[in-house]
Amino acid sequence: MNELTVIQATQGLLRHIQTTFQNKNDSLAVVIGFDARHQSHEFARLAAALFAYEGIHVYLFDSTTVPTPFIPFTVKQLHCQAGIMVTASHNPKDDNGYKVYWENGAQIISPLDAQIAQSIEQNLEPWKDKAWNLNILQDKNSKLISDPIEKIRDLYMSNLSKLCYFPELNASTPLKFVYTPVHGVGQPYAERSFAAFPFQPSIPVDEQKKS
């Protein structure tokens, strides 16, 4: 996975979105997030710029890494047509990946995956003046790029807290939990999750906190 393959995948996905949702072309939106892997942020920004140049609103988690579940959650909450998460999940640190979610918040499956793959094959040539051009991301007046981190983080934790059926019991329990971040992006979100339930703060493995 490199800048070219990210651009090619994004161009194909973008064209398929435009074709599939022709009746919504004036209100198309996608969400894009990334983890702490090498070049994840750069890959996410390359993809975001292409969508913005095509007039599609991009909810780009640009200010921080996010956990993968934030992407399908945002797709549903903000009524996006698709979501992209740049991550290789549990795979070795040298790997990276490009997860795609559809408007229903689920990862793409057959036959949609094959349709998008075909669209990628039809859009391999990087688009002139758009590919590798990140100028639109620097445009403070652009209404096509926004970072939803604060809104989505609060909404996610609010929804999570509704799944807690015994808050008083949780708050008074003497149980202690150890959390092992394994150098992923979960530490700050795990802390908020424990508070949402509300358990005592977890005990992190300090050597694994840095992503």
Query: Domain with 129 in it: what CATH number?
Result: 3.40.120.10
pTM of model > 0.85: yes
Alpha carbon separation from 58 to 47, 50, 80, 142 (Å, rounded): 10, 10, 9, 11
82 burial class (0-12, 13-18, 19+ CB within 10 angstroms)? buried
Half-sphere exposure of 193 (CA within 13 A, CB side): 12
- Which residues are annotated as catalytic? 89
Alpha carbon separation from 117 to 65, 68, 82, 84 (Å, rounded): 27, 22, 15, 15
Let me know whether 136 and 183 are in one domain: no
| 211 residues of the chain, pLDDT tens digit each | 999 999 999 999 999 999 999 998 889 999 999 999 999 999 999 999 999 999 999 999 999 999 999 999 999 999 999 999 999 988 888 899 999 999 999 999 999 999 999 999 999 999 999 999 999 999 988 899 999 999 999 999 999 999 999 999 999 999 999 999 888 898 999 999 999 999 999 999 888 877 7
pLDDT in tens, 157-179: 999 999 999 999 999 999 999 99
**90's tokens:** 């549990």
Let me know whether 135 and 35 are in one domain: yes
**159's tokens:** 């929804």
Let me know whether 178 and 204 are in one domain: yes
User: Which domain does 186 fall in, by range?
Assistant: 163-208
Radius of gyration of the chain (CA): 19
pLDDT in tens, 134-157: 999 999 888 999 999 999 999 999
